Amino acid sequence: MEQTIVSLQLPVQEALEIRKNRIAPPAGQDRGKRICIVTGVHGDELEGQYVIWELTRRLNAHPECLHGTVDLYPAVNPLGINSITRGVPLFDLDMNRIFPGTDQGHMAEYAAMKVMEDIQGADAALDIHASNIFLRELPQVRVNEASAGELVPLAKLLNVDFVWIHAASTVLESTLAHSLNAAGTRCLVVEMGVGMRITQNYGNQLIDGIFALMKHLGLWDGPTVPTRTPIVSRDEVAFINASEAGIFLPAVQHNGMVQAGQTLGVIADPLTGGTREMVTAPAAGLLFTLREYPVVYPGSLLARILKGGLSE
């Protein structure tokens, strides 16, 4: 059942609408617990669009297996998606920096407040993000250190490659996930893939994990597949940044183990045919982030390595 969460008038007889699709047992039956799947907070991150489409298709194929409510929010920032921009185009702001929102602010803050109100009280929520156009990320859950004790057991069910427990920082306090967790609604942030693209195998991997989480919560008694045990990291991550400008040409595959000193790629100079920099791994571990967009400048992030790459 489609529901409109926010409807606000825009210029030229247009409207901003944020909508959700609620899938639940028929009226009169026990609708049990509730899970919310949210994506589209950033308009240039499209990996979650596939997840929600395929999840909806699978849920509708087996309604008899559903024993709870699934709320699906495919486009929390519809203006950003329509204009292929990360933020809210009319306001030039990042929507994931204005939660929990307010009814005393501008239109985007009001929309954020209404989204918060609608999700609050769920038994669990997932906020699905992609990387930007520059980097490709393995499927991962990012958890704030302050919420790790409660969230990591749920994150381990989601069939991701690893769970990254990161320290709290001021900017995170205005995100949807931080605001929901602070309000008592458990919310996990999923990051995977690359901006402006859809990686279907990553999406299918996460969907299998979502069904495992739903079974754990008692919302689903249908078939599930065995899920992988993720690596759990507490900021044991090595960052590799460019020292020179040029074209980055990787020499390794994303999602692989690398050794300390191993060549990760080169920064090439197309003008001279020379090599500006040989990029090597500072530590052994799992290569979970790799540069997707080849043009780089000094300081550009090229890769991230999870040191050791061992399960917790």
pLDDT tens for each residue of 61-108 = 999 999 999 999 999 999 999 998 999 987 888 999 999 999 998 899
Residues in a beta bridge with 275 = 268
**pLDDT at residue number 168:** 64
pLDDT exceeds cutoff 60 at 268: yes
Mean pLDDT over each residue of the chain, to the nearest integer: 94
**pLDDT at residue number 10:** 83
- Report how far residue 179's alpha carbon sits from residue 187's, in angstroms, rounded to the nearest whole number: 9
**pLDDT at residue number 312:** 46
**pLDDT at residue number 31:** 77
Backbone torsions φ then ψ of 39, nearest 5 degrees: -155, 175
- Report how far residue 34's alpha carbon sits from residue 24's, in angstroms, rounded to the nearest whole number: 9
In 3D, which of 190, 180, 144 has the Cα closest to residue 50?
A: 190
Of 24-38, 140-154, 249-263, least confident by mean pLDDT is 24-38
Q: Which pTM does this prediction carry?
A: 0.94
pLDDT tens readout for residues 205-254: 999 999 999 999 999 999 999 999 999 998 789 999 999 999 999 999 99
Of 186-190, 234-238, 296-300, least confident by mean pLDDT is 234-238
What is the band of 169 on the pLDDT scale with cuts at 50, 70, 90? low
Backbone torsions φ then ψ of 129, nearest 5 degrees: -125, 160
**pLDDT at residue number 126:** 98
